[in-house]
Chains A and B, each alone.
Chain A
Amino acid sequence: QSVLTQPPSVSGAPGQRVTISCTGSSSNIGADYDVHWYQQLPGTAPKLLIYGNSNRPSGVPDRFSGSKSGTSASLAITGLQAEDEADYYCQSYDTSLSGYVFGGGTKVTVL
């Protein structure tokens, strides 16, 4: 049971828009800690996709966007492409645990 809750899977056709939610609590996202998002392609290490809720590192396509509100955050992928098939994880800091926490991960499938 992860501290941050994500849907196990989402899917969409090429070109569509999909969103992944990340629900936390008043001790992490709701305590004004930033949310970060990672993409993990099969068999590879995670890659930073979004940091500080909505910022993209250099090289990340603008098809990926992040937002945060209250105790939740979201990752949106617009213009879905086959290469976007991967697992996506949200991350934040939890003051009650005095540590960093990840969501359980969401598998994105391109139909």
Chain B
Amino acid sequence: EVQLVESGGGLVQPGGSLRLSCAASGFTFSNYWMHWVRQAPGKGLVWVSRINIDGSSTTYADSVKGRFTISRDNAKNTLYVQMNSLRVEDTAVYYCARMNTAMANDYWGQGTLVTVSS
């Protein structure tokens, strides 16, 4: 069974940093591109970032470019996102998601809440 489990969310002050993790199981993690998607409270889904199978290629939404860094450790079956210079508007539930060959996100984690507030 495919499972994605996010962790690392919490309360952080504006300007602070946080690293989220996504532990994958039930599939060959190193064969799949992975994404981070976020959802602010009561709002819609917003794509954040994606990484290819070996981490050599990454892309970011303009809203997080230069502040967030996506990475992966295929030996540990884990996806990460390092979030620096956090802003109030980064407050959201952050989901990791697997991307299939059709470029759709076919499996999602349960999400982890990041709250940026003073």
Cβ-defined contact, A51 with B106, below 8 A: yes
CA of A34 to CA of B46, assembled, Å: 18
Chain B 86-104 near chain A by CB (<8 Å), digits 1 or 0: 0000000001010010111
Cβ-defined contact, B100 with A45, below 8 A: no
Residues of chain A contacted by B102 (CB below 8 angstroms): 34, 36, 51-52, 55
A interface, over-half SS: strand
Q: B72: CB under 8 A from chain A?
A: no
Interface size on B, residues (CB 8 A): 24
Cβ-defined contact, A46 with B110, below 8 A: no
Q: B27: CB under 8 A from chain A?
A: no
State the Cβ distance, B29 to closest chain A Cβ, in Å.
Answer: 18
CA of A57 to CA of B97, assembled, Å: 16
CA of A103 to CA of B44, assembled, Å: 8
Residues of chain A contacted by B46 (CB below 8 angstroms): 102
